Amino acid sequence: MDIRGCTAVVTGGASGLGEATVRMVVAEGGKAAILDFDEERGKKIAGELGASVIFCKTDVTDENAVKQAVDKTVEAFGGIHFAVNCAGVATPAKILSKKGAIPVEQFNRVVQINLIGTLLVIKLASEKMVQNKSNEDGEKGVVINTASVAAFDGQIGQAAYSASKAAVVGMTLPIAREFADYGIRVVTIAPGLFDTPMLAGLPEKARESLITQVPFPKRLGKPGEYAMLVRHIIENPLLNGETIRLDQAIRMGAR
């Protein structure tokens, strides 16, 4: 699909991978809605990018909040063509630690944001996509989800995060098969180590330790490089039902 003239909803769009995606969409002539909980940052980006962007304060685990954001986007821009799910958390915790067993609420919070939040956006955005006019391939929309290499190479302390991201990978193909009847493609990106707020909170020594695990190029990924792949997925009609690792050939160690 052509990004120009089309509209994307981007969760986590106020920072990191989501922000880079919003900026890419606007640069390519599209419009975007930032769905994020960070009101200050989200409004700042929307103000900077002008009339092509709106901000919707959104808790992705709240179905009503997601529905309101989707409806607001359609009201502002006339439709939704792309949904890019970047919202996520990576709260580390061992199942058993010196502090005791992990509270199930902590595990569930990660699953709710990373998995259920992704599903809610897919569900509500796709209801709008089916109303779009098809292009020459019969295509009406594209859904892009964000998993993680942790879906495959989960480290100690990442049980909740890995489980949530593995589930995103697992639902990619069945939803793509279902949505084929509607002309909507579904693709998941599994990023490696990216220079985002999720990693920014780590001590410098920890960041350097992670970088040593990256084969090449030996650095953190840049959010704009994630957005480059989002653009290619949107524009290449043959990408469907697949999870693409964007990870510089990293395979995470146990720790």
* Residues designated catalytic: 161
Residue 94's Cα: distance from chain center in Å? 25
Q: How many CB atoms lie within 10 A of CB 176?
A: 19
Q: How far apart are CA 49 and CA 212, in angstroms?
A: 36
CB 178, CB 243: distance < 8 Å: no
CA gap 194, 160 in Å, rounded: 20
d(CA 126, CA 142): 9
**Beta carbons of 209 and 215 less than 8 angstroms apart:** no
Per DSSP, 114 falls in state I
Q: Which two tokens stand for residue 243?
A: 């999870």
